[in-house]
Amino acid sequence: MKPIVPKKHEPVRIGYYICHCGTNIAAMVDVEAVAKYVATLPNVAVSRHYKYMCSDPGQELIQQDIREHRLNRIVVEACSPLLHEHTFRKATEAAGLNPFYCQMVNTREHNSWVHTDRAEATRKAMALAHAAIERVPHHKSLEVKKVPINPDVLIVGGGIAGIHAALTLANAGKMVYLVEREPTIGGHMAKFDKTYPTLDCAMCVLSPKMAAVGSHPNIHLWTYSEVAKVDGYVGNFQVTVRRKPRYIVEDLCTGCQECVAACVFKEPKFPDEFNLGLGKRKPVFLPFAQAIPPIVMIDPEVCLNFKRGKNPDGTHTVSDKCKKTCVQACGDRKAIDFKQTEETKNITVGTIVMATGFKIFDARRTPFFGYGIYPNVYNALEVERLINASGPTEGEIVLRNGQRPKKVAIVHCVGSRDENTNRWCSRVCCLYSLKLAHLIKEHTDAEVYNFYIDMRTPGKGMEEFYNRVAEEGMHLIRGKVADVYPDPNDGATGRVVVQAEDTLTNKILKIPVDMVVLSVGLEPHPEADNLRRLFNLSCSSEGWFLERHVKLAPVSTFTDGIFLAGCCQGPKDIPDSVAQAGAAAAEAMALIDKGHIEQEPNTAYILADECSGCKSCIPLCPYSAISFDESRQKAIINEALCKGCGTCVAACPSGSIVQNLFEDDEIFSEIEGLLAPVPA
């Protein structure tokens, strides 16, 4: 059915509807009075108020009126257009009218919810309505632009969230580029021994998924790589990826690690990143046994075959000073390449999933806990590695001096729920603290003291987990730790005293322990801000990527075609990260499988007759959508490139650029209506 387009001289007939939104609007705005007032305004043929405009009967009301009263403009005063513009345009279209004859007025978010004086809010509702009533006569019939979508997907970050999203999409037949900054995928989860609430082994569930990513025909896995540039828009993003040199030819390395054994360094000597420096590695190394891809890398900072230090451009120079026993061991596989340089890949994708995760709070920022000062104070991630059977101590919980701790304190909420550091609750720390308490007890039979502010265990199976672990007989002390200091009675062993006030008994406790575990909170990456700019995303004030709508669009962003998964959007546990990754994959697929993107027709065009050829608009366009026709001496806008910001429109000295949906006349009449007198 071709939409009805009113004839040029057909009189404008507006249907106006104000929604009660239950009582959300009606409690603060006298909707009846507003509807009565709007009925008196020019061109208004129908003016109604209704309980829920977005409900089926509400939409039906509009459609019936369009047919019965031959309406050719619709104004709905309700919630934010960012929420329901689509709904009412659809309703308008369903009755045969072009959807762009519909205009929404935001009287809930911008009025009833934020004001306290009913008379004033009612007057404001009238003024806002009047603005729309003045505006809609200028509306034109517009066509939604359909552009094809590139079916390939980019996933940034290969933690559990990125892995799950990648597999979901790849299994559905989509081509996925998974870009991971570190030399291996796996993220934080790969470092854990067991996971709450089930205490199942982390790698047992994770490593099959990692391996599936590594071998999937639909996944291009680019580790040790970073996104350098993103251009374009939904359906058609052009992305540049930088692949840092690992001095190993990926296709030739078989992962045999014979080079590692043959390295001139007989013993591992350098702090091992994967084990947070608790273990040692050689200059050529595999990050950890189950790393994916199972490919070694060379650290040019310590490898003898490189000159010490970086060049100013960040590269390293080969010194050729080493015997290169590794190269001999590699033999005719020839996988080692000291001359490897950074490689740049350019890809085009239609959608992007951000899954860059989090970083743990740096406990040195709260020095009274003694982290970085006393050797026996650890952060939780380090302890995860100590407990891990494939960790630096092969699962033995021993202190730096090789002793088993007999008393262990676990301090909750380090860098969480704290005005001086991070105000948010990191959501996972109470539960992983209980997990660590259980595992430490299991491995060492030590006496464990948990210091918590509030025990927060929401979620399926979590309270049960807490009860189960609590029954194992650990000390649960409700109180904030104020100080950690060396035990004056036992300085030599490195024992420390944990001082806290037990807020249930109002007693100051001073407990000597052998080991302190700081349950550090989750933080956004410090570079999240750069990433956000690169991908044109928004961040919450804390620095987490901002979702489009907390409840209704929790994995979408304000940039169409970019979705969020896992902890980059906020602290969450593994089950929630995976659920969100599945949702992000589904959202991306919903776009891809439609085959095209519908674009808001808010692009600009030039009225050639009026263009004076001054060229002021041309340098203003960030998308180079405006060019100059030398023969006619007129500017031309390429509609396919225009994104509809309207910057050129505002700058044109002869008023010869028009932006659809935001025409000058539309804005001027909106201003007029806003400022027209309203009844007292």
Ligand X SMILES: Cc1cc2nc3c(=O)[nH]c(=O)nc-3n(C[C@H](O)[C@H](O)[C@H](O)COP(=O)(O)OP(=O)(O)OC[C@H]3O[C@@H](n4cnc5c(N)ncnc54)[C@H](O)[C@@H]3O)c2cc1C
What one-character DSSP code corresponds to residue 248? B
**Residue 81 binds another protein (CB under 8 A):** yes
The region of 278-286, 367-375, 491-499, 620-628 touching another protein under the rule CB under 8 A is 620-628
How many residues bind to ligand X according to rule CB under 6 A? Answer: 38
Largest CA distance in the chain: 96
- Does the footprint of another protein cover residue 138 (CB under 8 A)? no
Handedness of CA 76, 79, 80, 83 (dihedral sign): negative
Chosen residue from 85, 93, 180, 587 binding ligand X by CB under 6 A = 180
Among 539, 553, 586, 641, contact with another protein (rule: CB under 8 A):
539
Minimum CB separation of residue 140 from another protein in Å reads 17
| CA–CA gap between residue 345 and residue 52 (Å, rounded) | 51
Any idea what the Cα angle at residue 471 is, between residues 469 and 473, rounded to 5°? Answer: 95
Whether the Cβ atoms of residue 28 and residue 111 lie closer than 8 Å to each other: yes
Tell me the helices (H) and strands (E) count for the chain, helix number first: 15, 34
Interface with ligand X in residues 359-418 (CB under 6 A) = 360, 380-381, 384
Cα–Cα distance measured from residue 93 to residue 504, given in angstroms and rounded to the nearest whole number: 63
CA atoms within 13 Å, Cβ hemisphere of 424: 16
CA 381, CA 193: separation in Å to the nearest integer?
10
Find the binder of another protein among 602, 618, 634, 636 (CB under 8 A).
602
246 binds ligand X (CB under 6 A): no
CB 333 to ligand X: min, Å: 28
Binding partner of residue 485 among ligand X, another protein, none, CB cut-off 5 to 8 Å per kind: none
Q: From the list another protein, ligand X, none, pick the one residue 157 interacts with, judged by a Cβ distance below 5 to 8 Å according to partner type.
A: ligand X
The DSSP output letter for 504 is T
Contact 15, 73 (CB under 8 A): yes
Scan residues 144-163 and list those touching ligand X (CB under 6 A): 156-162
Distance CA 351, CA 332 (A): 41
Q: Is 23 in the site for another protein (CB under 8 A)?
A: no
Per-residue burial over 244-263, b if 16 or more Cβ lie within 10 Å, else e, is bbbbbeeeebeeebebbebb
414 versus 498: smaller Cβ distance to ligand X: 414
Cα–Cα distance between 168 and 171 in angstroms, integer?
A: 5
Is residue 563 close enough to count as binding ligand X by CB under 6 A?
no
Please state, as a whole number, how many other Cβ atoms lie within 10 Å of the Cβ of residue 680.
5
Q: How many CA atoms lie within 13 A of 163 on its CB side?
A: 27
Among 110, 140, 478, 634, binds another protein (CB under 8 A): 110
Examine residue 645 and tell whether it contacts another protein (CB under 8 A): yes
- The answer to whether the CB of 189 falls within 8 A of the CB of 574 is yes
Window 423-442: residues binding ligand X (CB under 6 A): 428, 432, 435
113 counts as binding another protein under rule CB under 8 A: yes
Stretch that binds another protein, among 78-86, 288-296, 425-433, 490-498 (CB under 8 A): 78-86
Which residues contact ligand X by CB under 6 A? 156-162, 179-182, 187-189, 192, 195-196, 226, 355-358, 360, 380-381, 384, 428, 432, 435, 525, 531, 566-567, 572-575, 577
Which residues contact another protein by CB under 8 A? 80-82, 106, 108-111, 113-117, 120-121, 124, 127-128, 131, 533, 536, 538-541, 546, 550, 558-559, 602, 620, 622-623, 643-647, 649-651, 653, 659, 662, 664, 667-668, 670-672, 674-675
